[in-house]
Amino acid sequence: MSTRGKVRKAVIPVAGRGVRMLPATKSYPKEMFPILGTPVLQYVVEEAVRSGITDILMIIGKRKNAIMDYFNRDFELENHLAQKGKDDLLKEIERISNLANIYFTYQKESKGLGDAVSYAEEFVGNEPFALLLGDNIFYSKTPCTAQLISIFDRYQVSVIMVEKVPEFKVSRYGIIKGRKIGERLFEIEDLVEKPSLEEAPSNFAIGGRYILTPDIFSCIRRTPPGRGGEVQITDALRLLNRKLGYITEGKRYDIGDKLDYLKAQIELGLKREEFRDELREYLESLCKNVCSEE
């Protein structure tokens, strides 16, 4: 396959205000919230790297400097850990700084996700790229982005991760209208950003992972502000000639939502061997006690 078709770049927008996670997000980015001691954004970056991505552009906004500090090297910390003989921690800290080539740019004004993505045009050039929203993480056997890339490799058109959501969640997401062309694959006919249940064309939601062709940038330029007065990537996608929706295998957590964030911590904790038994026992006794109190 030509390099033109190979997905090796990713864009991670992390400029959103995080209103649903206030007051914590007043001064701290939600993408840096920890799950078992690791920031959400590191899970996202590791998913990209495990999917074959080598170059990442993060689009940041105000109050997001903690993100740049995190992926930058900290020689003072490294020396300190070396002197104290904390080799495992030192290795992990060095590994984080070397995960990928990471670049940053600022979104000048909060004008929406579509506007944020438009800042990546020069970085992306004439290549297909992965778009990973910095507040969504996945637990799956094959990384979510890798699953989408294999669909892209086959069809060479933009592919969007979709997921069936319960009706009460429809108005929180971009929703697709699609025609099923495979067990997990849709030809997308239309998309609506955060519709009411009555307006929603289906209950298949856009789940924060996309493989996009560079013609998305001219689509963004032609997209007027939509929902919330912001330029929406969902509206820009409507203008793409052809796009597919793919139901990926695995579980998604929306860290921008307080309950989902809590669930992610518990579920990922149960999957971690060092915590599994004690946490399971704790949860079981907690449930018994709470039920008997009711």
Q: Which of 193, 212, 220, 243 binds ligand G1P (CB under 6 A)?
A: 193
Q: Does 143 bind ligand G1P (CB under 6 A)?
A: no
Nearest to 174 by CA among 249, 241, 106, 254: 254
Rounded least distance, CB 209 to ligand G1P, Å: 9
Tell me whether residue 16 or residue 29 sits nearer to ligand G1P (CB atom): 16
Rg (CA), the chain: 20
| Cβ contacts of 63-68, under 8 Å, gap ≥ 24 | 63/25, 63/26, 63/27, 63/28, 63/29, 64/14, 64/15, 64/29, 64/31, 66/28, 66/29, 66/32, 67/14, 67/29, 67/31, 67/32, 67/41, 67/104, 68/104
Tell me whether residue 51 or residue 234 sits nearer to ligand G1P (CB atom): 234
Q: Does 226 bind ligand G1P (CB under 6 A)?
A: no
Rounded least distance, CB 32 to ligand G1P, Å: 16
Q: Does 208 bind ligand G1P (CB under 6 A)?
A: yes
Angle at which helices 273-293 and 258-271 cross, to 10°: 120
Rounded least distance, CB 205 to ligand G1P, Å: 5
Could you say which residues in the range 154-183 bind ligand G1P, by CB under 6 A? 173-174
Residues 11, 222: Cα–Cα separation, whole Å: 20
Q: Does 206 bind ligand G1P (CB under 6 A)?
A: yes
Mark the segment that binds ligand G1P (CB under 6 A) among 44-52, 54-62, 176-184, 200-208. Answer: 200-208
Burial class for 241, CB neighbours closer than 10 Å (0-12, 13-18, 19+): exposed
Q: Which of 14, 35, 67, 113 binds ligand G1P (CB under 6 A)?
A: 113
Q: Does 136 bind ligand G1P (CB under 6 A)?
A: yes
**CA torsion 268→141→52→187, rounded to 10°?**
-110
Which phi and psi angles does 210 have, rounded to 5°?
-145, 145
* DSSP structural state of residue 14: E
Residue nearest to ligand G1P (CB): 174
- Interface size with ligand G1P, residues (CB under 6 A): 16
**Structure tokens that stand for 139 in this block:** 């637990």
**Contact flags string 229-248 toward ligand G1P, x per CB under 6 A:** ---xxx--------------
- Residues of 73-89 as b/e, b for ≥16 C-beta within 10 angstroms? eeeeeeeebeeeeeeee
Tell me whether residue 16 or residue 61 sits nearer to ligand G1P (CB atom): 16
Mark the segment that binds ligand G1P (CB under 6 A) among 43-51, 63-71, 199-207, 211-219. Answer: 199-207
Q: Which residues bind ligand G1P (CB under 6 A)?
A: 16, 113, 133, 136, 173-174, 193, 205-208, 232-234, 254, 256
